[in-house]
Amino acid sequence: MSARFTQYLRHEANHLWQASFEHPFVCELAAGSLPENKFRHYVRNDSYYLKEFAKVQSLAAAKATDLNTIARLAAHAKATVEAEHALHETFFKLLHVSPEEPFTPAPTTYRYTSHLHTVAHTGTFAEIIGVMLPCYWLYWEIGERYKQAKPNHPIYNQWIATYGQEWYGQLVQEQLDRLDGLADTASDEERRRIRLHFMISSQYEYEFWDMAYRLERWRF
């Protein structure tokens, strides 16, 4: 079961992932035609998301039971804070965004991060890995799919290059292997919950592109 569990999840979510691959935000970014105001909205929301994601990675480390896993998940949280957030700081400069500028996350961003935190606080260790996995995995597949793209845009070139790099693929594979191993000892009910969390996160990943493309904001 374990060797096939993540592939089962990937198959179940395929229609959602295909929708992400084909979303105008992703396609226009790869083509270099995405309006910068939409990417700016994405970056500001993603910066907020990454801070919350690092907290969820840290909560996963707190629920791990062996020292190596604790150390690895702490390293993942550190990588999120240092590598990916540094990338967004670069984008902030290129897009003339001030970190001090008041910001409220869009409704989709708020709902997605709330979903992650709910599972992190109430779920098992395996459930936390499952709820985080689409963020890792989908971006890696996008990086692989579009790594030959030539947007000819300094920001979009850098964004695509980041997720196609070997170091990022190694982080994804580590989490895939971890969840497959956890599935070995999980009950049918726990696997059902992991699937549900994975599917919800996969839908939110699609909605995140849509949020950015539509410049989604609160109605108040």
Contacts of 94 (CB under 8 A, 6+ apart): 154, 155
Integer distance in angstroms from the first to the last C-alpha of the chain? 48
Residue ranges in the chain whose pLDDT is less than 50: 1-2
- H-helix or E-strand spanning residue 67: helix 67-79
Burial of 93 (0-12, 13-18, 19+ CB in 10 A): exposed
pTM: 0.94
- Catalytic member of 127, 135, 174, 207: 135
Q: Which domains are seen in the chain, by residue range?
A: 2-213 (1.20.910.10)
Query: Would you give the distance in Å from CA 19 to the centre of its chain?
Result: 15
d(CA 53, CA 136): 11
Active site residue 135: yes
Structure letter (DSSP) for residue 220: -
pLDDT at 84: 67
Residues 88-98 pLDDT 10s: 778 888 898 88
Identify the active-site residue in 82, 205, 207, 216.
Answer: 205
Q: Please say if 205 is a catalytic residue.
A: yes
